[in-house]
Chain A
Amino acid sequence: MTEPQLRFRDDEVVSDPAVTVDSFGDQSNATAVRIEPGDDARALLPHLDRLRLIEVNFPAYTDGRGYSAARILREAGYTGELRAVGDVLIDQLSNMKRCGFDSFAPDHPLNEADAKAALDCWPDVYQATTDGRTPIWTKRHG
């Protein structure tokens, strides 16, 4: 497990080791899994009810596959912890949060004040995601 630096959940931090997607199917008691960019997040959908932590690895911040993985999991109703790990930087935080991540374990610790400012940057959003924010489109049309 990678210790999260930022976490937006009230429940207890899951401390189980996260297994790979490949080995997850065989380990019927595993409650934490780590997704790599090439993994298909949909392979986890049959098992969401027993998962408490899903880590999504960003080996390089420029590889955006993890954003789709996160949304797919949330769209399928996953409510456990969704943690971005790896090359997680200040300026990706708000998009990650919009895609459903609720905890962040960056390789290199982030400046907390800059991180907070980045997360608070957007007064509104255009798109609908599962993060609960009301898109501008909906606000315009009450």
Chain B
Amino acid sequence: MYKYDTYDQAMVDARVAEFRDQVRRRLDGSLTEEQFRPLRLMNGLYLQLHAYMLRVAVPYGTLSSAQMRMLGDIADKYDRGYGHFTTRQNIQYNWIKLEDAGDLLADLASVEMHAIQTSGNCIRNISSDQYAGAAAEELVDPRPYAELLRQWSSFHPEFMYLPRKFKIAVIASETDRAAMKLHDIGIKLVKNDAGEIGAQFYVGGGMGRTPMIAPMIREFVPLDQLITYAEACLRVYNRYGRRDNKYKARIKILVHEIGADEYARQAEEEFAHLLGQGVEPPIAELERIKTYFQDPPFEAGAPDTLDRSDPDFALWVDRNCVTHKQPGYISATISLKPVGGIPGDASADQIRLMADLARDYSFDECRVTHAQNIVLPHVRKADLYVLWQKLDAAGLGAANLDRIGDIIACPGLDYCSLANARSIPIAQKISERFAAQEKQDAIGEMKLKISGCINACGHHHAGHIGILGVDKKGVENYQLLLGGSEGEDTSLGKITGPGFDEEGIVDAVEKAADVYLANKQGEERFLDTYRRIGIDPFKEAIYD
């Protein structure tokens, strides 16, 4: 994986020093809270309901074991012994003191990490495919491109005060595991007819209160113009994105209002201009970055079989592991969704254990997924049983990847100051209701996503089943959505009708699952059946 050189390190160190100085000026009163707010936000520090929350960037979700261990230590040292992995492949801590923030950032910098631009109206952490570099069907490893974009977007002088936050995802497989078309910019690496690799740009996707699927804006950007094209896209947005209304300020509204063709034309014009301005890094830089993402030293001829005699282990393998490009290896997902648990939460000890396992069994590397789980990308099949035993003993053995128990949930009203309703207790109740293995198995692949307000941090629009918390005359109320998908077949869920209270929403989910089971044909997933029979049979059952 990528390693900082002295330049990268100096930039992050400078940022820590700058932030310490800003905190000093805030504490001595020379900065008002109003003036300090965007500065702390650009360092990942939010003021929540009970305390400061600090969000740490995990670029494209990749972590070394040393970094993961530091995340565990930070949970102990500055938080209450927990970390919360997020849908942005980041980690956040919910109980941080402002006075500690500088020291925390210095600890992060010591392992080449930071909280830069994890908040604020700037380009946020770049996300990617959690199986990058391991997936059997990928064209190339998308992470070198994401790293190049990370450097370009870090402290970009022109784009720190955009109309609104800006999220970019990069993928390189046909299977979209990063919800690429639901980003402000989604980049898919593709091969053209001449066999060259280039970047396909999708611009103007997003969730929030006006969810939109990004249209393709350019079919192929040559790699030696990638940054220039991105810069053009951003400049058009910075100049013309709406600033009169916070809820209409994301780039999706601009693209929607002027139309994808007109946006593309303006981007093209700016691109033509910028090509003469020398903003593109030398192509040698991309080559340099790529050298950090070469395959780890896989053992040739590693045994490609598994002893499945332990049924619990076999179940976990079937649920949580996926095919690796290298024979004898497998990618394993550690589910952070135990029955009744808080989705994405891990204790300091669990985080350190995962760090050790990444070191011992996965070439020193792990990944955070946008579904709030952890992946060990490169595990020898021969080691898998021992690995699973260690996970299971630590309460990390849940075999429910992409099952109904694998719920994505935002922090909601338990922590978030913007929330209308709690998300976590709903996730806990649903996972308890469907705890029985046979039930989960019968329902099969299911992406259930919960947001505590319209901002959609829990991606409810993109859930096969989505739940949205709203405020109904001061009472928490939950709307049910069906039919969303974040995959390569991206679609947005539809609201079934009037909302429910806490118990009612869990019942409604169960009824929806029953309609699926009664109508399922052959190998259909919930989503397939929904798409075939439509929303009406579900409505009938839910509201009868």
Interface, chain A (partner B; CB < 8 A): 37, 61-65, 67-68, 71, 75, 89-92, 94-96, 98-99, 111, 114, 117-118, 121-130, 135-141
Contact = CB atoms under 8 A, between A and B. Distances in A.
Nearest to A41: B239
A90 B24 CA distance: 14
Interface in B331-366: none
**Highest count of chain B CB atoms <10 Å: which of A123, A126, A129:** A126
Interface stretch (B85-93, B154-162, B187-195, B513-521): B154-162
Q: Helix, strand, loop or mixed for chain B's interface? A: helix
Contacts of B279: 127-129
Contacts of A124: 7, 10-11
B531 interface: no
A90 to B, nearest CB: 8
Interface of B: 5, 7-8, 10-11, 14, 17-18, 21-22, 25, 30, 35, 38-39, 121, 151-152, 154-162, 235, 238-239, 243, 273, 277-279, 281-282, 284-285, 288
B155 A126 contact: yes
Contacts of B10: 123-124
Given A94-B157, A138-B281, 4 more contacts: A37-B243, A123-B14, A136-B8, A140-B288
A67 B235 CA distance: 10
B238 A127 contact: no
Contacts of B38: 61-62
A64 B238 contact: yes
Contact of A141 (B155, B243, B278, B285): B285
Contacts of B238: 64-65, 67-68
Q: Which 10 A-B pairs have the closest CB atoms?
A: A64-B161, A98-B157, A137-B281, A95-B157, A136-B7, A67-B158, A141-B284, A123-B10, A137-B285, A141-B282
B25 A114 contact: yes
Contacts of B161: 61-64, 67, 92
A123 B157 contact: no
Given A68-B239, A137-B281, A141-B284, A126 B30 contact: no
A127 B158 CA distance: 10
B121 A62 contact: yes
A61 B243 CA distance: 13
Given A124-B7, A136-B151, A141-B285, A63 B158 contact: no
Contacts of B5: 140
Contacts of B278: 128
A114 B11 contact: no
A5 to B, nearest CB: 16
B254 to A, nearest CB: 13
A111 B157 contact: no
A96 B160 CA distance: 10
Contact of B155 (A65, A118, A122): A122
Nearest to B285: A137
18 contacts: A62-B38, A62-B161, A65-B243, A68-B239, A71-B158, A95-B157, A95-B158, A98-B157, A111-B30, A114-B30, A118-B18, A123-B14, A124-B7, A125-B157, A129-B157, A136-B8, A137-B151, A141-B282
Contacts of A114: 21, 25, 30
B277 A75 contact: yes
Contacts of A67: 157-161, 238
A64 B160 contact: yes
Nearest to B287: A141
A122 B14 contact: yes
Nearest to B24: A114
B195 to A, nearest CB: 26
Nearest to B273: A75
